[in-house]
């Protein structure tokens, strides 16, 4: 399994960094319980970036799956770094290709993510971030939901 860090899942599941500021551990647990969500990242000339504020992760280990929406084309290079921990991800994925992750962060995480598309155009990257929860049953975190 590839390593990704919990901040990725948290920031993506919660939305923009301004939304994250108001989140608490209850919001984190609800996000896990809901199984993740879709996020959109603006891409200009084939490139996009995202930086989060430092968020409390309380050392909660998360696992799940990241997947580029099937409607995109080309390949997507994603480089992510937890500036407050040791987590790093370097992956190249095609649309619909699942990228499983696990991460055990410290008390806080701060994320910098760079996206590069093989096509130097403008678009909005649609990215599924699925999260495994304690009572998932047969749900597959790599299977995006429409919710």
* pLDDT for res 33: 67
Q: Has residue 109 been placed in a domain? A: yes
Number of domains present in the structure of the chain: 1
* Res 25 pLDDT > 60: no
Q: Has residue 19 been placed in a domain? A: yes
pLDDT confidence band for 27 (50 / 70 / 90): low
Residue 97, domain CATH? 2.60.120
Q: Has residue 37 been placed in a domain? A: yes
The token pair that represents 8 in the structure block: 């990725």
Please spell the DSSP secondary structure of the chain, one letter per residue. Answer: -EE--HHHHHHHHH-SHHHHTT--HHHHHHHHHHTEEEEEEEEBTTEEEEEPPPEE-TT--EEEEEEE-TT--S-EEEEEEETTSS-EEEEEE-TT--EEEEE---SEE-EEEEEEESS-S-EEEEEEEEE--TT-TT--TTS----
Q: Has residue 64 been placed in a domain? A: yes
* pLDDT for res 42: 93
- For the chain, the average pLDDT equals 76
Q: Has residue 12 been placed in a domain? A: yes
Q: Has residue 139 been placed in a domain? A: no
Q: What is the pLDDT of residues 56-96, one digit of tens each?
A: 777 777 778 889 999 999 999 998 888 888 878 788 999 99
Please report, rounded to a whole number, the percentage of residues in the chain having pLDDT higher than 70: 71
pLDDT, mean of residues 89-107: 86
Q: Has residue 141 been placed in a domain? A: no
Task: Tell me how far the alpha carbon of residue 19 is from its chain's centroid.
Answer: 15
Q: Has residue 144 been placed in a domain? A: no
pLDDT, mean of residues 36-61: 84
Q: Is the pTM of the predicted complex or chain greater than 0.85?
A: no
pLDDT, mean of residues 115-129: 93
* pLDDT for res 47: 97
Structural domain of residue 15, as residue ranges?
Answer: 2-131
pLDDT: which is higher, 66 or 106: 66
* pLDDT for res 68: 94
């Amino acid at each position: 399994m590839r390593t990704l860090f919990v901040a990725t899942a948290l920031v993506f599941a919660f939305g923009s960094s301004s939304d994250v500021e108001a989140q608490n551990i209850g919001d984190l647990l609800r996000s896990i319980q809901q199984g993740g969500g879709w996020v959109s990242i603006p891409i200009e000339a084939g490139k996009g970036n995202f930086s989060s504020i430092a968020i409390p992760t309380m050392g909660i280990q998360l696992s799940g799956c990241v997947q580029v929406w099937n409607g995109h084309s080309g390949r997507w290079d994603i480089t992510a770094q937890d500036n407050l921990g040791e987590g790093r991800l370097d992956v190249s994925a095609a649309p619909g290709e699942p990228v499983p992750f696990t991460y055990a962060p410290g008390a806080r995480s701060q994320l910098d993510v760079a996206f590069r598309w093989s096509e130097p155009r403008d678009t909005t990257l649609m990215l599924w971030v699925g999260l495994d929860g304690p009572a998932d049953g047969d749900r597959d975190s790599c299977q995006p939901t429409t919710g």
